[in-house]
Chains A and B, each alone.
Chain A
Amino acid sequence: MWNIAVKNERTTEDIALGIRRRVFEHAMRNNGGYLSQACSSAEQLAWLYNEELILGAPTLPMIPKPFGGVPHADNPDYHTGAGYNGPFEPEFDRLFIAPAHYALVAYATLIETGRMAAEGLEMFNKDGSSVEMIGAEHSPGMEVHNGTLGIGLSTAAGLAWARKRKGEKGRVWVYMSDGEVQEGQTWEAIQCCAHHRIDNVKAIMDVNRQQCDGAMDSVMEVGDIKTKMENFGAVVVEVDAHNVNDMREAAKTKHDGKPLIILANSNPFHAMPILEERFPRLHYVRFKSEEERARMNISIAESLGVDPIDYAH
């Protein structure tokens, strides 16, 4: 299988570092970006793509095509970005990225795992491009439209139920953010999985305890996510989001008749400690001044073991 062939070439840790470096470079050049999400989620996405997901080779061009229109009867050539995750075959997994604002990190992951050319990131948020800031259904690696938070797990549950009925071996993975537990729909989805014994759905949630307005505890407390999810019928395992071994072990957990949800407790400034200065406003880091931008450039470059970005050019 394609993925297995690539799998052992680089370690997941190395891929995570590559993801952070790309997101850092992008944020520096553009005076900001979803930088903290790279801190919290890089190992999770690297692990999914490099180890856990069973995917075929990409079916779409390495350099993404421009925006090709939205679904419509008059647009017969429309397709989603799912091809970057390989073909829809019964044995292959699917992946939905529910928090579509993690797109920058997800695109960097595609590049680091050889599924998209580096040029793809140059197209990020450019007019007429399919590589959208908030991942759209047609953006590389996106399989269904998310971005309105809280819908991903439900769609995955439906697909998983259908795949089970058809006898397909492929699983349905969902990448989730912790802000999604504030939405009622997340709980409806878990309850539904449990009721219909949907156990080919698996989720990993970036529990960085942050949302747009700041620390979740200051915006809307969600309490003990693990216990609540268990009460709704999921099998839940907590891991250190920056420890790949933890994730490997968690994924082996038996969850017959129930969905598996891995809560990845993450640090929103992992590997870029200077970002802590921005706490609790980490959701979208826009540099407040040239001075801050320059200082962060030097500090983060050093943390990531690269040269500072020459963003003036």
Chain B
Amino acid sequence: MVEMVSRPYERAFEKHALANPEVLCISADLTSSCEIDKFRDNHPDQFLSMGMAEQNMMSFCGGLGLAGYRPFIHTFGVFTYRRPYDQLMASIAYPRRKVRIMGFLPGITTPGGMTHQAIEDISVMRSMPNMTILETGDATEVESICEAADSIDGPVYCRVLRGSMPRLFDTPIKVGEMRELSLGNDVLIVTAGITTEEAMRATKALEAAGVSVRHLHLHTIKPFNAEAILDHINAVKGGVITLENHVTEGGIGSLVAEVMADNGVGKKLRRLGLKDTYAHGGSRAYLMRYYGLDALALTQGVEDLLGQKLGISEADLAEARVDAVHSLAKAEGL
């Protein structure tokens, strides 16, 4: 059984902030939704409430950065770049302020529908010069995200998980590296964030069906180590498949495509994710099935990539974890 961890961010942030007095906790009226309510109550001197005013918050944090502080912005990922894109660019990214953007509820991890689902954030941030992008896929990565982000000499956008989550890894994020989860030689599966757990479920079934899987998990999306992934791409016979909690344009699928094209790799690539569509509101398990982001979608993608039926069905996949909709790990409806 996989170990489940409750609210790792809450503890990790407190530990990091207390050890680093230049770190400031910034909140945009989603304090308990981002697991910093205890921090606010226990350390009010290091906490700043910005209200529901994201544009001001971005430029304000640029000002804090100018003074040498390292603000950690907490809100849902969408609210950190859609409305305040211009402020993010001019006040934070351009001058390379050390602002750490903690974007909660990445992709379809929220039932809040289109306005709450950050499905194109990686694409936006990848095209923003000076921005670093990190993504968490399990409790260990969430526990190490504050230190990892704070080690960057410039602005960082992080996709952060919250609530109850599995522990899949036992080593912290090492910025710039990638995790090699299996080293087979038929197909290369590349995942990040919550899709890694899906790929791990699929890997067992694929191996059982005779497919040798090479699986990489990305926590550092920008800057990206093209050399390292190139070796893995070259090591497989059957092609590459990416699965992301994001639109297929501009995210990790595009990233891998660029590396392949840049290096003249003549292999097939299948990019799975949201296909030029907005999502809507629903449970995570439902949305992952509906939009083809789960283990089953991945095995079907591998069949398509290899041009052969593998006969893998739902029953062959390791059991999916289903998050309780009204989990006590979260305080809000969202």
Residue of A nearest to B326 (CB): A31
Contact of A134 among B33, B51, B116, B326 (CB under 8 A): B116
Q: Which residues of B contact A20 (CB under 8 A)?
A: none
Inter-subunit contact B280/A132 (CB<8 Å): yes
Q: Is B264 at the interface (CB under 8 A from chain A)?
A: no
If A136-B114, A179-B29, A219-B29 touch, whether A184 touches B55 (CB-CB below 8 Å) is: yes
A213 to B31, CA, bound (A): 6
Q: Is A211 at the interface (CB under 8 A from chain B)?
A: yes
Inter-subunit contact A182/B114 (CB<8 Å): no
- Chain A, residues 144-167, CB within 8 Å of chain B (1/0): the string is 011111100000000000000000
If A148-B82, A184-B55, A219-B51 touch, whether A101 touches B333 (CB-CB below 8 Å) is: yes
Q: Is A34 at the interface (CB under 8 A from chain B)?
A: yes
Which residues of chain A in 195-252 are interfacial with respect to chain B, using CB atoms and an 8 Å cutoff?
211-213, 216, 218-220
Q: Is B148 at the interface (CB under 8 A from chain A)?
A: no
Residue of B nearest to A212 (CB): B29
Inter-subunit contact A147/B116 (CB<8 Å): yes
Interface-facing stretch out of B161-169, B255-263, B281-289: B281-289
Inter-subunit contact A133/B333 (CB<8 Å): yes
Q: Is B12 at the interface (CB under 8 A from chain A)?
A: no
A203 to B55, CA, bound (A): 24
Contact of A133 among B30, B54, B111, B114 (CB under 8 A): B111
Q: Which residues of B contact A146 (CB under 8 A)?
A: 115
Inter-subunit contact A212/B30 (CB<8 Å): yes
Which residues of chain B in 289-334 are interfacial with respect to chain A, using CB atoms and an 8 Å cutoff?
290, 325-326, 331-334
A125 to B79, CA, bound (A): 22
Inter-subunit contact A220/B53 (CB<8 Å): yes
Q: Is B112 at the interface (CB under 8 A from chain A)?
A: yes
- Chain A, residues 165-196, CB within 8 Å of chain B (1/0): the string is 00000000000000110111100000000000
A147 to B115, CA, bound (A): 6
Inter-subunit contact A70/B280 (CB<8 Å): yes
Inter-subunit contact A184/B56 (CB<8 Å): yes
Residue of A nearest to B287 (CB): A127
A101 to B277, CA, bound (A): 23
Inter-subunit contact A211/B333 (CB<8 Å): no
Q: Is B90 at the interface (CB under 8 A from chain A)?
A: no
Inter-subunit contact A211/B29 (CB<8 Å): yes
Interface residue count on the A side (C-beta < 8 Å): 44
A31 to B113, CA, bound (A): 21
Interface residue count on the B side (C-beta < 8 Å): 40
Which residues of chain B in 18-49 are interfacial with respect to chain A, using CB atoms and an 8 Å cutoff?
27, 29-33, 49
Inter-subunit contact B112/A133 (CB<8 Å): yes
A101 to B112, CA, bound (A): 9
Q: Is A283 at the interface (CB under 8 A from chain B)?
A: yes
Interface of B: prevailing SS? loop
Report A204 CB to chain B, min CB distance, Å: 19
Q: Is B78 at the interface (CB under 8 A from chain A)?
A: yes
A211 to B78, CA, bound (A): 19
Residue of B nearest to A75 (CB): B277
Inter-subunit contact B113/A286 (CB<8 Å): no
Q: Which residues of B contact A147 (CB under 8 A)?
A: 112-116
Q: Is B278 at the interface (CB under 8 A from chain A)?
A: yes
Q: Is A72 at the interface (CB under 8 A from chain B)?
A: yes
Residue of A nearest to B51 (CB): A220
Report A114 CB to chain B, min CB distance, Å: 26
Q: Which residues of A contact B112 (CB under 8 A)?
A: 133-134, 147
Q: Is B52 at the interface (CB under 8 A from chain A)?
A: yes
Q: Is A18 at the interface (CB under 8 A from chain B)?
A: no
If A145-B114, A213-B49 touch, whether A127 touches B83 (CB-CB below 8 Å) is: no
Contact of A136 among B27, B277, B280, B286 (CB under 8 A): B280
A100 to B281, CA, bound (A): 12
Q: Is B50 at the interface (CB under 8 A from chain A)?
A: yes
Most chain A C-beta atoms within 10 Å of own C-beta, residue among B32, B276, B279: B32
Q: Which residues of B contact A100 (CB under 8 A)?
A: 115
Inter-subunit contact A148/B53 (CB<8 Å): no
A138 to B114, CA, bound (A): 11
If A33-B333, A34-B333, A148-B78 touch, whether A136 touches B281 (CB-CB below 8 Å) is: yes
A100 to B54, CA, bound (A): 18
Which residues of chain A in 114-137 are interfacial with respect to chain B, using CB atoms and an 8 Å cutoff?
125, 127-129, 132-134, 136-137
A149 to B279, CA, bound (A): 19
Report B241 CB to chain A, min CB distance, Å: 24
A71 to B279, CA, bound (A): 10
Contact of B32 among A132, A180, A182, A213 (CB under 8 A): A213
Q: Which residues of B contact A71 (CB under 8 A)?
A: 278
Q: Which residues of A contact B279 (CB under 8 A)?
A: 70
Q: Is A32 at the interface (CB under 8 A from chain B)?
A: yes
Inter-subunit contact B29/A125 (CB<8 Å): no
Chosen A-B contacts, 26 in total, with CB atoms closer than 8 Å, are: A32-B333, A70-B279, A70-B280, A125-B281, A127-B283, A132-B113, A133-B113, A133-B334, A134-B111, A134-B112, A134-B116, A136-B113, A136-B114, A136-B280, A146-B115, A147-B115, A150-B83, A211-B52, A212-B30, A212-B332, A216-B51, A219-B51, A220-B49, A220-B52, A286-B331, A286-B333
Residues of chain A whose beta carbon lies under 8 Å from any beta carbon of chain B: 30-34, 67, 70-72, 100-101, 125, 127-129, 132-134, 136-138, 145-150, 179-180, 182-185, 211-213, 216, 218-220, 281, 283-284, 286
Q: Which 7 pairs from chain A and chain B are nearest by CB?
A: A220-B51, A127-B286, A147-B115, A132-B281, A148-B115, A284-B333, A70-B278
